[in-house]
Homo-oligomer: A and B are copies of this chain.
C-alpha cells in the first residue's frame, strides 16, 4: 500500500477545513447540496458523454487502485539483481534451466518474456511481443489518465456554469440589497467545488498515474533489455554494466551481485 496518496488527499481536505475555520466561518456554509449536484453531477455527465459507462467505471476503479497501490516489482535494483542472477544461471547451466525460474516468478511480464526465451523464440519476435505488451499497457493507462485529465477540466467548467446560473439569478433581481452577498456566496460555491475537484483530487491523481506509468515503462524496458541480453548469451558483467545505467549513479554501487558483493556494497 502506497500511503502517500491517501495521506495527501486527507491533508488536502484538512487544509481546506482549516482555511474555512481559521477565517471564522462555519463549515456548514460551505456545504450546499444543490451545488454539489451541479458541479459533480454536471462534470460526471460530461464524462459519461465522453466515454462508455463500463470504461468510465473501469478507469475510475483502476485509476484509484493504481494511485494507492504499491506497484509490484517497482524496485529496479531488485529487478537488476534478479536478471543478473538469471544470466549467471543461463551461462553456467544453459537457458533451459530458466524454465523453472520462470514458473516461479510473480511478475507476469518477466515470466512471459523468460518463457519465450526458453522456448527459443526468435529475438526480434521476443522484443516485438514484449514491446507490444508495454505499448498496450501504456495505451490502457493513457485512457485512465485521460479520464482524470478530462474530469480535472470539467470540474471547474461546471463550477463556472453553476456560478453563472447563480449570478444571473441574483442579478435579475437586485431590489433587496441584503440578499446580494449571500446569493453571490452561494453562486461562488460551485466554483469552489470545481477547484477542489481539479486541484485536490484529479490533477494530483493524474500526476501520480503518470509518474507510476513512466516508472513501470522504465522497469519493463529494463526487463526487455536484460532478457534479450541473456538470450544473446552476453557476459553477465556486461549485462550488469548495461542495466545499471537505468539506476541513478548513487544507487549503482549498491546493486549487490555475485562476485562484486564484497567490494561494492
Binding site for B on A (CB under 8 A): 2, 4-5, 7-9, 11-12, 14-16, 18-20, 22-25, 29-30, 34, 37-38, 41-42, 44-53, 55-56, 67, 108, 116, 121, 125, 128-130, 132-133, 136, 139-140, 143, 146, 150, 153-154, 157-158, 160-162, 164-175, 178, 180-182, 184-192, 195-196, 198-200, 203-208, 211, 214, 218, 225, 238, 241-242, 245-249
Contact = CB atoms under 8 A, between A and B. Distances in A.
Given A4-B49, A19-B162, A136-B247, A24 B196 contact: no
A14 B180 CA distance: 26
A143 B217 CA distance: 14
A165 B25 contact: yes
Q: How many copies does the complex hold?
A: 5
A188 B164 CA distance: 7
A192 B164 contact: yes
B20 A165 contact: yes
Contacts of A130: 245
A166 B207 contact: no
Contact of A161 (B175, B181, B196): B196
Contacts of A204: 46-47, 49-50, 154
Contacts of A168: 25, 29-30, 185, 188-189, 192
A191 B164 contact: yes
